[in-house]
Amino acid sequence: MQSIRNIAIIAHVDHGKTTLVDKIIHASKIFDAHQHFDDLILDNNDLERERGITIVSKNVSVRYKDVKINIIDTPGHADFGGEVERVLKMADGVLLLVDAFEGAMPQTRFVLSKAIQLGLKPIVVVNKVDKENCRPDEVHEQVFDLMFNLDATEDQLDFVTLYGSSKQGWMSRDWREKTDNIIPLFEAIIEVIPPAPTREGTPQMQITSLDYSSFVGRIAIGRVHRGTLQEGTNMSLCKRDGSIKKVKIKELNVFEGLGRVKVESVSSGEICAITGIEGFDIGDTLADFENPEPLERISIDEPTMNMLFTINNSPFFGKEGKFVTSRHLRDRLFKETEKNLALRVEETDKEDTFLVYGRGILHLSVLIETMRREGYELQVGQPQVLFKDIDGQRHEPIEHLVVDVPEETAGKVIELVTQRKGELTIMEPKGDLQHLEFNIPARGLIGLRNNVLTATAGEAIMNHRFQSYEPYKGTIPGRINGSLIAMETGPGTAYSIDKLQDRGVFFVEPGEEVYMGQVIGEHSRGNDLTVNIQKGKQLTNMRASGSDNNVRIVPKLQFSLEEAMEYIQKDEYLEVTPKSIRMRKIYLDENDRKRYERKDD
């Protein structure tokens, strides 16, 4: 029997987790001498590399001496909480990675609290001690306080701390003593993390994640809880609704290095991938054929937000995307719910419109961005926060918001957040920054990031996580400015845009094709204004010299997908295609808009 350690890595976005995994992989000599690999081995989809975040958890294994270490990479964002909880079920210990300057961040707290509840043993790695103005000792104290506040047991509080730099590839038990490798980390894992328990008896395995291959279909991944799984045996699949389905294991694989190796049997404690099982969901238990015993299902945090997804019906539909029909949209959304646990999709009374529930703007925007890259065209409505009725009173989700900001602009940030019903709970210096913590309704966060970044000249660092449902806090002022709306379809002219610059800021530039009803800018006042940007200059044969070449146009305002999702109003849609993101009114014709406004009044 080989000794196995299953360990999950927890870290905040950008604290160096994926880089550390790269170094562990290199140190264990998985690659042959002639193989060359880029950095960020595990963040292998484009979106993860671009945003520098881990979205989907992944498995990799390394060997040190005669021990096999299975490393499970976890997402650091609270929006992917569904991903985190099921992944921790496979681990016996966690590696908590914190930045030697920033310390434990709000997202770290979220994942760490889940790990501590599950009773996992932590090892703390204080990373980036090579950076100037780092404070490793303070950060160590901070992590201890955090674990204490999360009700860690005495055994969990007695954690081993390692210091080092993943980038430079060294770890040590004292940050003043630099070594030249990360062997101390391997030693600590073997010494501290308990070996994966071996339980005798009938086989049991909970499916905690899935993979897909175009050759063999869906692949179930999980840790064998009890007994031994054999290739080619018949098993029972225990479903959510209590029903039991008979299935057969076609093939078993275990994780070796970055790949998988086919084996005949897998004993308890090992993580494996199974092919040949049909119709399973995450959380189902694979159990004995004769007398199946299901394991307790994974509970997932409830969604806090929903958005309307509908097909693209703008005048420009079908010009850029491959998948444009309601059937395409429907199939893609329901396929996503199979592996994205915290996502829910509901059909509405219109067959081309769906309500999609998620954990936050980032959770939903990653789905929209992924679909857009796959060639889908769709439209989404304004994100709506989900309210709950508790004892007859309306409750809403409250988020814990943390902002680190230069001292001189801290006042502006506090003012912006309190306008949106945020309450300041902590204000303290952190290095040369002010560290602010608030409790704010999730509704208040929509569109807040743009305003805070504008007020602080882009220097604020914002993070938030879901805290709890609390009684409704009253109305929150939305966007103060109205929209500039295109009157006609066609390319805009520099002449018209120049003449209208005093009316607001434009989101389009001369020569760009727009359609009637598209939102092409932000009005300087509170009401919507319909403008004509297609008008050219009336040319006569008498030209005044020098009057034509002084057209100076302010560059257009560019929005990222998340910013645009937060920006749109209730009567607007965001049109998303593989090449463009456009905002538009739901009713493109001005007369229709006026008619529906009267109805609403």
pLDDT, residue 302, reads 74
* Residue 13 among known ligand-binding residues: no
Looking at mean pLDDT, say which of 75-79, 292-296, 316-320, 458-462 comes out highest: 316-320
Are 196 and 1 spatial neighbours (Cβ–Cβ below 8 Å)? no
pLDDT, residue 292, reads 86
387-390 contacts, C-beta under 8 A, 24 or more apart: 387/472, 388/469, 390/469
Give the Cα separation of 326 and 351 in Å (integer): 7
Are 163 and 173 spatial neighbours (Cβ–Cβ below 8 Å)? yes
Give the Cα separation of 27 and 130 in Å (integer): 20
pLDDT, tens digit (0-9, with 9 covering 90-100), for 191-249? 888 888 888 888 888 888 777 777 777 888 888 888 888 888 898 888 888 888 888 88
Give the Cα separation of 277 and 499 in Å (integer): 65
pLDDT, residue 242, reads 83
Are 439 and 421 spatial neighbours (Cβ–Cβ below 8 Å)? no
* Residue 15 among known ligand-binding residues: yes
pLDDT, tens digit (0-9, with 9 covering 90-100), for 261-287? 888 988 888 888 888 888 787 788 888
166 versus 96: the higher-pLDDT residue is 96
Q: What CATH number has the domain spanning 388-471?
A: 3.30.70.240
pLDDT, tens digit (0-9, with 9 covering 90-100), for 480-525? 889 999 999 999 998 889 889 999 999 999 999 999 999 999 999 8
* Residue 14 among known ligand-binding residues: yes
Task: Report DSSP state, residue 103.
Answer: B
Are 532 and 495 spatial neighbours (Cβ–Cβ below 8 Å)? no
* Residue 158 among known ligand-binding residues: no
Query: How long a stretch of residues is the chain?
Result: 601
pLDDT of 288 higher than 50: yes
* Residue 129 among known ligand-binding residues: yes
Alpha carbon distance, N-terminus to C-terminus of the chain: 73
Are 485 and 517 spatial neighbours (Cβ–Cβ below 8 Å)? yes
Give the Cα separation of 427 and 436 in Å (integer): 5
pLDDT, tens digit (0-9, with 9 covering 90-100), for 154-168? 888 888 888 888 788
Are 55 and 47 spatial neighbours (Cβ–Cβ below 8 Å)? yes
pLDDT, tens digit (0-9, with 9 covering 90-100), for 335-364? 888 767 678 899 999 999 999 998 878 788
CATH superfamily placement of domain 3-192: P-loop containing nucleotide triphosphate hydrolases (3.40.50.300)
Q: In which region does residue 237 sit, left (phi positive, over 0), alpha (psi from -120 to 50) or beta (all else)?
A: beta
Supply φ then ψ for residue 97, to 5 degrees. Answer: -105, 125
Give the Cα separation of 174 and 163 in Å (integer): 6
Instruction: Please list, in sequence order, all residues whose beta carbon lies within 8 angstroms of the beta carbon of residue 32, skipping any fewer than 6 positions away.
Output: none
Supply φ then ψ for residue 50, to 5 degrees. Answer: -65, -45
pLDDT, residue 2, reads 66
Query: Tell me, which fold does domain 483-600 have in CATH?
Result: OB fold (Dihydrolipoamide Acetyltransferase, E2P) (2.40.50)
pLDDT, residue 381, reads 94
Give the Cα separation of 509 and 284 in Å (integer): 53
Domains in the chain: boundaries: 3-192, 204-287, 388-471, 483-600
Within this chain, domains 204-287 and 388-471 share the same CATH topology: no
pLDDT, residue 549, reads 56
**416-454: b (≥16 Cβ within 10 Å) or e:** bbeebbbeeeeeeeeeebbbbbbbbbbbbbbbbbebbee
Amino acid code (one letter) for 458: G
pLDDT, tens digit (0-9, with 9 covering 90-100), for 30-51? 433 334 344 444 444 454 444 4
What proportion of the chain, given as a percentage, has pLDDT over 70? 87
246 by Cβ neighbours in 10 Å (0-12 / 13-18 / 19+) ranks as exposed
**What's the pLDDT band for 54 if we cut at 50, 70, 90?**
very low
Are 324 and 311 spatial neighbours (Cβ–Cβ below 8 Å)? yes
- Mean of the per-residue pLDDT values of the chain: 82
pLDDT, tens digit (0-9, with 9 covering 90-100), for 111-138? 788 788 888 888 888 888 877 777 888 8
Residue with tokens 């501590």: 116
Q: Across 227-284, where does the E strand assignment appear?
A: 228-230, 234-238, 244-248, 251-256, 259-263, 265-267, 271-275
pLDDT of 13 higher than 70: no
* Residue 17 among known ligand-binding residues: yes
* Residue 18 among known ligand-binding residues: yes
pLDDT, residue 77, reads 52
Report the DSSP pairing between strands 423-430 and 461-471. Answer: unpaired
Query: Considering only the top CATH level, what class is 204-287?
Result: mainly beta
Coil, helix or strand at residue 578:
coil
pLDDT, residue 600, reads 67
Angstrom distances, CA of residue 508 to CA of 312, 380, 512, 524: 20, 20, 6, 16
What proportion of the chain, given as a percentage, has pLDDT over 90? 21
**What's the pLDDT band for 58 if we cut at 50, 70, 90?**
low
* Residue 92 among known ligand-binding residues: no
Are 266 and 250 spatial neighbours (Cβ–Cβ below 8 Å)? no
